[in-house]
Amino acid sequence: MSTPTLDKHSAALDAAESTAAQKITVTFRIRRFNPEVSADAQWQDFQLELDPKERVLDGLHKIKWEQDGTLTFRRSCAHGICGSDAMRINGKNRLACKTLIKDINPEKPITVEAIKGLTVLKDLVVDMEPFFQAYRDVMPFLITKDTNEPTRERLQSAEDRERFDDTTKCILCAACTSSCPVFWNDGQYFGPAAIVNAHRFIFDSRDEAGEQRLEILNDKDGVWRCRTTFNCTDACPRGIEVTKAIQEVKRALITRRF
Amino acid sequence: MKIHKYDTVIVGAGGAGMRAAIEATKRSRTAVLTKLYPTRSHTGAAQGGMAAALANVEEDNWEWHTFDTIKGGDYLVDQDAAEILAKEAIDSVLDLEKMGLPFNRTPNGTIDQRRFGGHSRNHGEAPVRRSCYASDRTGHMILQTLYQNCVKEGVEFFNEFYVLDLLLNDVDGVKKSAGVVAYELATGEIHVFQAKSIIFASGGTGKFFKVTSNAHTLTGDGQAAAWRRGLPLEDMEFFQFHPTGIWRMGILLTEGARGEGGILRNKDGERFMEKYAPVMKDLASRDVVSRSIYTEIREGRGCGPEGDHVYLDLTHLPPEQLDAKLPDITEFARTYLGIEPYTDPIPIQPTAHYAMGGIPTNVEGEVLADNTTVVPGLYAAGEVACVSVHGANRLGTNSLLDINVFGRRAGIAAAEYAHKNEFVELPEDPAKQVQDQVERLRDSNGTESVVALRTELQECMDANVMVFRTEQTIKTAVEKIGELRERYLNVSVQDKGKRFNTDLLEAIELGNLLDLAEVMAVSALARKESRGGHYREDYPNRDDVNFMRHTMAYREVGADGKESIRLDYKPVVQTRYQPMERKY
């Protein structure tokens, strides 16, 4: 039998395992919009009881289920992997399911509004089509010239695989793109997410269409619009170094090496 | 109401749906209808890998994989289907690599592989490295890669179109599929899609449990649509509880964590799996590990103030290994529990994870109307379907495999069927059932709330038909579900609008969950044995004499309009493997 190794508990583990209820009252201040009811958006406050360890998404559900069934938002997996519930929480783009109440100062009202730069359709739901169109425009799929399909997998060194690891994490939640001031002011800009997904292929050693993708991003609405504000990097719920990826694409455009 | 016409219509845009779409779009005019945006599906939450006997890192072959799958499913697996799964696994992985999937690599550049529960060398000798993986986000990478290739192939998607009904029509006495009816979430409009062939790939139904790894949107929509149109559901009593969900939240922590060397421990720090599975230990099959965890908890060796969980211990693994191989799940522990998995063990409990049962199909993905009769033009693949490659318990990494192998097969078969056949006439007033359903819910002034009924359902299911079941607990569940179904007739929604009415959507989803929960409980009550994920404390042994057979449940409506469930059985396909006692 193996030796017990868990005789000491950290304070963090004790806190995680605590079953003592510690509900607090918080205020959610939500930007409501429903063109079926009114042409104008307005802020609405809701008071509710939550455990500080609960997620903002839990709060939204609580409101929808117990107070106002008309409150509308997208969500699915509820743990930061499906990318449905990007929203602006206290002025910052985050996933509602990855933001815990205790991490955002519940003393003050928690503001929740739709992400910016995309048309709001109802409450926290925006039109995602322009976002996905920009994604489709960068040819987000592996392109190889060789028409003879290999019978085994292509070889790729662990280093070559590592080169584009960071940008494979993207979940297309639009938190980055809708945090970008350039995107807010000019809907034509591809936006960070599309560039991240181009990066994922440009730096994949198996892909052979890097030049084509670079030309697409060399467009006036391409990477040169980026003003390096780092909003996108701060917003990414997957911890992707978005600004760095954009800079690497810019550098590849100059050196034509990738 | 709008009417659309396509050769092939695919319902669902997860792994199975998009894998099918890639094939079907090349061969026929295809539309994909999805309740969510394509990359939102729960395939993306799968972590640990996809099994295939590539033998890149050690000796392996597909026959061993076939055996493990059949043994893992406690011999309820249809052996011809398992053989196809294991054989075609190899090409499925290679196809994904060719499509661009960034698998982790070995030092010589081939696809890397790791250990996973129930996968063994030479029929159970020792764990084998069979799982092809991309860090701990293999499902995410599969979903992204398939979507990328759908973009490449120009697949036509109808996003946020929720399919509520399946249209069947009699042609010369044969029940054929004619189309589906969908509700457009953005506008509230109802659309009829007439199609020569239809593939259901709409995923699982885990949301009838409270502690589950499943997304909020996994509400058995496809199964329920087929069920209400009189098609059977197979083996619904078999539901998998994944051993390592985050305590109370149910969020999945991959079995790959144990594949990388993680250990389950009780409150005394004991590696308790050594007692229950001396060879495979922490990598025994999921049903075995989940029962072991609950046995520890019941016998007072659980952790925490209420002794209601155990630990997944990764603290002996080097931080570099955790960062490279398990970055997402270690981040889940940090985000949701506030602990550091380098130094703290992670509190876990079994979490409702996967429906082994579903819409019965043959190995071409064709849906069955009974034990043998195919419904022409109707297909199903992925978790919504029951082929049955998972039998009574699915092995880890076999579901990402299933969606690729049988998604591809269904896509090809459906498109070829569409080529050879004409449209089946739509039934009269095709959208009526959906219109009535939507209007009734939207206009109702009933006094029951969706959340109250759903919460009661989930609590009832967790308490009565989870890892351990008895005749008494299952009867309690059947009775409670019956009561909830009665009360559901009096449910109302607050949102009366047409635009993005997710309040209405949740009410419809609840109706599906209630129907399927009842099928599950009734099927479980009749299976007086223990096999795989279905464990009856009052019948703790497997009974091959009476129950080596699939359950087939049918919805019956009497002359008085009263619904009931009729159970029938279907033989298991056995080829070369004789049932043996299952030990790990």
Specify if A138 maps to a domain: yes
Specify if A251 maps to a domain: yes
| B510: helix, strand or coil | helix
- Closest-CA residue to B466 (of B334, B254, B294, B307): B294
Specify if A8 maps to a domain: no
- Closest-CA residue to B273 (of B249, B246, B241, B301): B301
Q: How far, in Å, CA of B378 to CA of B364, rounded?
A: 11
Residues A62 and A107 in one domain: yes
Asked if the Cβ–Cβ distance from B102 to A161 is below 8 Å, we say yes
Domain that holds residue B453: 432-552+561-569
Looking at the partner chain, which of A16, A78, A122 has a beta carbon nearest the beta carbon of B347? A16
Q: Is the pLDDT of residue A1 over 50?
A: no
Specify if B162 maps to a domain: no
CA distances from B562 to A22, B167, B486, B551, B556 (A): 47, 22, 12, 22, 8
Residues A77 and A121 in one domain: yes
Specify if A121 maps to a domain: yes
Residues A180 and A203 in one domain: yes
ipTM of this complex prediction, to 2 decimal places: 0.96
Residues A111 and A140 in one domain: no
- Residue whose entry in the numeric block shows the structure tokens 């100059």: A254
Residues A120 and A27 in one domain: yes
Identify the helix (H) or strand (E) that includes residue B219: none
Residues B439 and B565 in one domain: yes
Asked if the Cβ–Cβ distance from B316 to A5 is below 8 Å, we say yes
Q: Which is it for strands B190-200 and B239-246: parallel, antiparallel or unpaired? A: unpaired
- Closest-CA residue to A100 (of A108, A109, A89): A89
- Interface membership of B302 toward A (CB under 8 Å): no
Residues A82 and A27 in one domain: yes
Say which CATH number the domain at A94 has. Answer: 3.10.20.30
Output the pLDDT for position A6. Answer: 58
Of B352, B374, B391, the residue at which a domain comes to its end is B352
Specify if A12 maps to a domain: no
- Closest-CA residue to B39 (of A138, A77, A233): A77
Asked if the Cβ–Cβ distance from A4 to B109 is below 8 Å, we say no
Structure tokens at A43: 């802020």
Instruction: Say if residues B199 and B381 touch (Cβ distance below 8 Å).
Output: yes
Asked if the Cβ–Cβ distance from A82 to B305 is below 8 Å, we say no
Output the pLDDT for position A188. Answer: 87
Instruction: Say if residues B200 and B193 touch (Cβ distance below 8 Å).
Output: no
Of B335, B352, B369, the residue at which a domain comes to its end is B352
**Mean pLDDT value of segment A169-193:** 94
Specify if B413 maps to a domain: no
- Interface membership of B133 toward A (CB under 8 Å): no
Instruction: Say if residues B383 and B71 touch (Cβ distance below 8 Å).
Output: no
Say which CATH number the domain at B333 has. Answer: 3.90.700.10
Residue B178 DSSP code: E
Instruction: Say if residues B565 and B71 touch (Cβ distance below 8 Å).
Output: no
Residues A138 and A210 in one domain: yes
Residues A231 and A202 in one domain: yes
Q: Which residue of A has its CA nearest to B40?
A: A82
The answer to whether residue B228 is catalytic is: no
Which chain A residues are within 8 Å of B135, Cβ to Cβ? Answer: 165
Specify if A180 maps to a domain: yes
- Interface membership of B324 toward A (CB under 8 Å): no
A125-145 in b/e burial notation, b at 16+ Cβ within 10 A? bbebebbbebbebbbbbbeee
The pLDDT tens digits of the residues spanning A77-118 come to 999 999 999 999 999 999 999 999 999 999 999 999 999 999
Q: How far, in Å, CA of B260 to CA of B428, rounded?
A: 57
| Residue A186 confidence class, pLDDT cut points 50, 70, 90 | confident
Which chain B residues are within 8 Å of A68, Cβ to Cβ? Answer: 494
Which chain A residues are within 8 Å of B271, Cβ to Cβ? Answer: 1-2
Helical H segments across B432-551, by residue range: 432-443, 450-464, 471-488, 502-526, 544-547
Which chain A residues are within 8 Å of B109, Cβ to Cβ? Answer: 155-158
Give me the amino acid identity at B140: H
Looking at the partner chain, which of B44, B344, B451 has a beta carbon nearest the beta carbon of A65? B451
Q: Is the pLDDT of residue A5 over 80?
A: no
The single residue of B129, B286, B408, B409 carrying the catalytic annotation is B286
Looking at the partner chain, which of A122, A128, A168 has a beta carbon nearest the beta carbon of B37? A128
Residues B345 and B437 in one domain: no
Mean of all residue pLDDT scores within chain B: 97
| B337: helix, strand or coil | helix
| Residue A2 confidence class, pLDDT cut points 50, 70, 90 | very low
Q: Which residue of B has its CA nearest to A57?
A: B216
- Interface membership of B41 toward A (CB under 8 Å): yes
Instruction: Say if residues B128 and B115 touch (Cβ distance below 8 Å).
Output: yes
Residues A139 and A251 in one domain: yes
Chain B (481-500) residues lying within 8 Å, Cβ to Cβ, of chain A: 493-495, 497-500
Q: Is the pLDDT of residue A154 over 60?
A: yes
Which chain A residues are within 8 Å of B136, Cβ to Cβ? Answer: none
Looking at the partner chain, which of A13, A141, A153 has a beta carbon nearest the beta carbon of B151? A141
Identify the helix (H) or strand (E) that includes residue B214: none
Output the pLDDT for position A19. Answer: 86
Specify if A5 maps to a domain: no
How many distinct structural domains can be found in chain A? 2
Q: What is the separation of C-alpha B254 from the centre of its chain, rounded to a whole number of angstroms?
A: 16
Which chain A residues are within 8 Å of B42, Cβ to Cβ? Answer: 76-77, 82
Give me the amino acid identity at B151: V
Identify the helix (H) or strand (E) that includes residue B554: strand B549-557
Preferred mutation among B18, B105, B145 to probe A, highest tally of A CBs within 10 A = B105
Looking at the partner chain, which of B144, B332, B500 has a beta carbon nearest the beta carbon of A72? B500
How many distinct structural domains can be found in chain B? 2
Cβ-count burial of B169 within 10 angstroms (0-12 exposed, 13-18 middle, 19+ buried)?
middle
The pLDDT tens digits of the residues spanning A240-258 come to 999 999 999 999 999 977 7
Looking at the partner chain, which of B100, B151, B340 has a beta carbon nearest the beta carbon of A12? B340
Q: Which is it for strands B126-132 and B161-171: parallel, antiparallel or unpaired? A: unpaired
- Residue whose entry in the numeric block shows the structure tokens 């009550």: B525
Instruction: Say if residues B263 and B282 touch (Cβ distance below 8 Å).
Output: yes
- Residue whose entry in the numeric block shows the structure tokens 């994949």: A204
The pLDDT tens digits of the residues spanning B462-486 come to 999 999 999 999 999 999 999 999 9
Which chain A residues are within 8 Å of B100, Cβ to Cβ? Answer: 141-142, 201, 204, 206-207
- Closest-CA residue to A87 (of A135, A122, A53, A54): A122
Asked if the Cβ–Cβ distance from B345 to A206 is below 8 Å, we say no
Asked if the Cβ–Cβ distance from B343 to A10 is below 8 Å, we say yes
Specify if B538 maps to a domain: yes
Asked if the Cβ–Cβ distance from B495 to A172 is below 8 Å, we say no
Helical H segments across B302-449, by residue range: 319-325, 327-332, 398-420, 432-443
Beta bridge partners of B194: B5, B179
| B158: helix, strand or coil | strand
User: What are the backbone angles phi and psi of residue A65, rounded to the nearest 5°?
Assistant: -85, -25
Specify if B330 maps to a domain: yes
Give me the amino acid identity at A124: L
Asked if the Cβ–Cβ distance from A75 to B274 is below 8 Å, we say no
Looking at the partner chain, which of A83, A142, A153 has a beta carbon nearest the beta carbon of B110? A153
Structure tokens at B140: 């995410």
Of B352, B371, B386, the residue at which a domain comes to its end is B352
**Residue B279: Cβ within 10 Å count:** 14
Specify if B359 maps to a domain: no
Residues of chain B with pLDDT below 70 are: none
Specify if B328 maps to a domain: yes
Q: How far, in Å, CA of B519 to CA of B521, rounded?
A: 6
Phi and psi based region of residue B530 (left: phi greater than 0; alpha: psi -120 to 50; beta: remaining):
beta
Is the peptide bond prior to B388 cis by the omega test (within 30 degrees of 0)? yes
CA distances from B123 to B119, B209, B216, B414, B582 (A): 9, 34, 38, 36, 11
Domain that holds residue A239: 129-148+157-255
Helical H segments across B218-283, by residue range: 221-228, 256-259, 273-276
Which residues are CB-neighbours of A100 under 8 A, at least 6 positions away?
Answer: A52, A53, A54, A55, A56, B335, B336
Say which CATH number the domain at B441 has. Answer: 1.20.58.100
- Residue B20 Cα, gap to closest chain A Cα (Å): 17
Residues A133 and A251 in one domain: yes
Beta bridge partners of A46: A28
- Interface membership of B148 toward A (CB under 8 Å): yes
Structure tokens at A118: 């995309």
Which chain B residues are within 8 Å of A73, Cβ to Cβ? Answer: 502
Which chain A residues are within 8 Å of B148, Cβ to Cβ? Answer: 140-142
- Residue B249 Cα, gap to closest chain A Cα (Å): 10
- Closest-CA residue to B570 (of B361, B411, B385, B429): B361
pLDDT greater at residue B525 or residue A145 = B525
Specify if A3 maps to a domain: no
Asked if the Cβ–Cβ distance from A17 to B305 is below 8 Å, we say yes
Looking at the partner chain, which of A83, A125, A142 has a beta carbon nearest the beta carbon of B99? A142
- Residue A141 Cα, gap to closest chain B Cα (Å): 5
Interface size between A and B, measured as CB pairs under 8 A: 204
- With vertex at residue B390, the alpha carbon angle to CA B549 and CA B365, rounded to the nearest 5 degrees, is 90
Terminal Cα-to-Cα distance of chain A (whole angstroms): 52
Q: How far, in Å, CA of B349 to CA of B293, rounded?
A: 8
- Residue whose entry in the numeric block shows the structure tokens 């954009």: A246
Asked if the Cβ–Cβ distance from B94 to A76 is below 8 Å, we say no
Say which CATH number the domain at A250 has. Answer: 1.10.1060.10
Q: What is the separation of C-alpha B459 from the centre of its chain, rounded to a whole number of angstroms?
A: 20
Which chain A residues are within 8 Å of B340, Cβ to Cβ? Answer: 10, 12
Q: How far, in Å, CA of B41 to CA of A77, rounded?
A: 8
Which chain A residues are within 8 Å of B94, Cβ to Cβ? Answer: 151-153
Q: A49-52: which pairs have CB atoms within 8 A and are 24 or more residues apart?
A: A49/A23, A49/A24, A49/A25, A50/A23, A50/A24, A50/A26, A50/A101, A50/A106, A51/A21, A51/A22, A51/A23, A51/A24, A51/A101, A52/A22, A52/A24, A52/A100, A52/A101, A52/A102, A52/A106
**Residue A31: Cβ within 10 Å count:** 17
Instruction: Say if residues A245 and A225 touch (Cβ distance below 8 Å).
Output: no
Asked if the Cβ–Cβ distance from B344 to A13 is below 8 Å, we say yes
Q: Which residue of B has its CA nearest to A58?
A: B249
Specify if B543 maps to a domain: yes
User: What are the backbone angles phi and psi of residue B350, rounded to the nearest 5°?
Assistant: -60, 145
Mean of all residue pLDDT scores within chain A: 94
Residues A94 and A169 in one domain: no
Q: How far, in Å, CA of B216 to CA of B168, rounded?
A: 29
- Closest-CA residue to B453 (of B436, B441, B468, B438): B441
- With vertex at residue B482, the alpha carbon angle to CA B203 and CA B242, rounded to the nearest 5 degrees, is 35
Specify if B251 maps to a domain: yes
